Every structure is written in C-alpha cells, then in structure tokens.
Amino acid sequence: MRRSKKPYEIRSGRTVIQLVTGAIAILLLNLCSCATWQMPADRDDAALRARAISDTVKGVTLSASVLSAADSKQLFGGDINVDGIQPVWIQVRNDSTHTLWLLRSGTDPNYFSPLEVAWPLHTKFAKRSNARIDDYFDSLSFQNPIPPGTTKSGILFTNYHMNTHVLNVDLLGQQSIFPFTLFLPVPGEYSQKLYETIVRYIDAAAVNYQDSDAFRDALEKLPCCAPGGDPVNMVAVAKLDDLAAAIIRRGYRVQKEDADSRQQLFGRSPDIVLRKTGTGAPAYRIRMWVAPFRYQGIPVFVAQSGRPVGGRFSDASDGGRPLHPNVDETRNLIIQDLLYSGGLAQLGFVGGVGHVPEARAEKDGSDTLYYTDGLRAVLFFVTRPLTLSDIEILDWVPLPQQRESEAAVNNTE
C-alpha cells in the first residue's frame, strides 16, 4: 500500500529554495513596511508665515523664511536638512499687471529639484509608495506661473547657508524683472548677528564723500594691508543687498575660519568672509570689512582677495596653508567672476597697496612672500540685472599703462 505524503514533507531541493526565497521576500516586505514613509498629517505653514521676512518691488511682495529640522520633519515626514538641503518657504503676492515666473537658477545655481529631494525617502519594493512621496514633494514645491492678482506659496530646495540665508529671487515678467534679496535667519544658529553687525558698521560710517577725486584719495590712503597681514587689494561700493545678490549669484557663501580672524583692519577681524562652495570650487577667499566712510551715500567695503598655496589640491584647511604669493592673479580672477554677476556696473583701479615686484616679494603675517602691481580694484554694484555691455571701465589708473611704466622703471634699475 502506497504511503501518503506528510504535510510537512519536502521532496525536492527546488521546493526548499522556493520556500527560503519566499521567507526572505516576506521578511524584506516587513522591513520595508516598517520604514515606509508616512504622509504628514499636519501641513500647516503658520509658523513659517509668522517669522517670514518680506519686501515689495513694483507691486509684487515676496515673503520668505528658512525651515528648521523640526519644520522639515513636520512638513515632509523626514529631516531633509541632513542632506545639505536648506528648504525655504516663500510666498509671492502679485499685485502687478504681469504674469510672473520664478527663475530657480537665480536663487541657487545648484538648486535641488523636489523629486531629487524625495529620492532618499524612497524604499525598495515600494513603487506605489515612492510615487506618493514624489507627488507629495512636488505638490509642496513652489509652482509657476503667478498670474496677476494671485498669491502663491511653496518651498524652494536650496543649498545650505550658515547663520544667515541670503535669498535671491528673480521674478520674470513681460520684458521686466522683479529682483529680491532677503536676509533670512537660519533657525537654531547665531542667525541675525552677522547681518545686524554689518548694518551697525554701515550706519556708523560718519564720512560721506561726494567728490570722485576725494573718494579716490581716501581709498589710496587706506592701509596697504592688515597689520602684518595680507594686502588689501579690493574695494566694493554697493548697497548691502546688491552686493549680497552679486556674490551669491556667483556661488560665494559666508564661511569664516580661524585663520581669518587673525587678519585685523579698523581694529577688528573681517566682518564677512566669503568662499566658493561645492565640489571642485576654486579655493578663492574674500575677507571684507565695512569702511568707516561712504561714497555718495553708498556703503564701502574693503577687502583682501587671495587663495592659499595649492588651492583646491591642498588637503589642509586654510589656516594651515600660506597665501599664494601671486595675489594679483586671484584678484583678477575674482573680478572676471563678478563680471557675470549681473550687478557690476563700474570697475576701476587705484593705488594704495604699493608695488612689490616678484624679485622683492614681501612677507605677510604668516611669513609668506607675496608680490603685486600695487593696485586696488574698485567695483561698483547696482541692482541686477545688467549685461557685460553695461559695465563701465573707469579711467582712473589704466592698468596696462601702469604696468608699462613699471616695466620701464625696472629696466633702468
């Protein structure tokens, strides 16, 4: 008599593999279900609106605030800030006659798309759930266009800014642009101190030069360098928001290191230190101080521009690398960079640094040799947008003539 098969009896290796595979699949599904993203129940943006900073340009009002980690968890169901993203809530009220379009690249050339931000929250074997995440993030992002008489709000996914987020927003209308620059506190950081300090120094500037010759004379009488430090080889004449817009559009961010504080001018360390950020970014740095005077009512910023030896190929921090001796090279490269900022209106040169030929290079505060043609670049910024053809080159100290005269002097020595 044929014996019946027991319920638990396994007769082939293939069946064993099938059972194990099935068990693993169930386990993975259980694990995925534990980690599955849950749509937030609370999308209230009242807290963001309450701390928003606003400005109005030609009948269009922009309001904005930076999201904290807690805000991100509440709104997105996860802390997206840990990925180097700094989400910003904005609202545009369009009381103009234009249909407006927000240009995201003007806000951040390395802008994150909402679907890119949603990706880290995806899980395997969860196609439907992942699609829901994508749809949700896309629905929270700011949507174009903004018709006349309407108000729209949403999220911009930008890169991280320390302390104060300098937000540029360009709204494009019919043959018109509505430019905004807002200084937004970053929640949980020493936010507005930087902005407030700069404004305080600007307000304290007692002298206001109206005459161009007197202003040039004042620039030439500035110290050649920080005491025992790097040469002061650049000057910016600009309202704070116009200057901020120009440097942000070219990828500079506030980033101060310990070595920067050793440079002193007007009895204090730099008010602003700027560096390019991102993988492969040039190792330029610009240290800025608010000058104790204005020009025709406009704030004046004096600066050191340079880069460390080795540039981006050095492993050490800026504090461990001496200044590259060819300081004019970096000055000129930064000028060329800022030509494309859309805010540079005029460019000129004055003396004041002192000519130092390469053969007689001097030492800065870190015992580093440097040489220079002795000129300070003076850059005048206005509200964007300008084109390259709009830039006026001032005939103050013609750079080619200056170099020719120096060469003649050197040949006679």
What is the number of other CB atoms lying within 10 angstroms of the CB of residue 331?
Answer: 26
pLDDT tens digits, one per residue of 248-257: 889 898 888 8
What CA–CA distance (Å, rounded) separates 185 from 67?
10
Mean pLDDT of 189-201: 77
Statement: residue 74 has pLDDT above 80: yes
Residue 48, pLDDT > 60, answer yes
Q: How distant, in Å, are the alpha carbons of 75, 92, 163, 306, 411 from that of 223?
A: 51, 45, 30, 17, 29
Strand duo 376-381 + 234-237: pairing: parallel
The rounded distance, in Å, linking the Cα atoms of 65 and 87 is 9
Instruction: State residue 209's pLDDT score.
Output: 98
Asked whether the beta carbons of 219 and 352 are under 8 A apart, the reply is yes
- pLDDT tens per residue, range 372-407: 999 999 999 999 889 999 999 999 986 545 554 555
31 has a pLDDT exceeding 90: no
Mean pLDDT, the chain, rounded, equals 84
pLDDT attached to residue 314: 66
- DSSP single-letter state for residue 140: H
Domain made up of 46-185: CATH architecture: Sandwich (2.60)
Domain ranges of the chain: 46-185, 200-412
pLDDT digits (tens, 9 = 90+) for 310-358: 676 666 555 556 778 889 999 999 999 999 999 999 999 999 999 988 8
The pLDDT of residue 340:
93
The model's pTM: 0.77
Query: Measuring CA to CA, which residue among 275, 345, 282 is closest to residue 304?
Result: 275
Place 411 in a pLDDT band, splitting at 50, 70 and 90.
very low
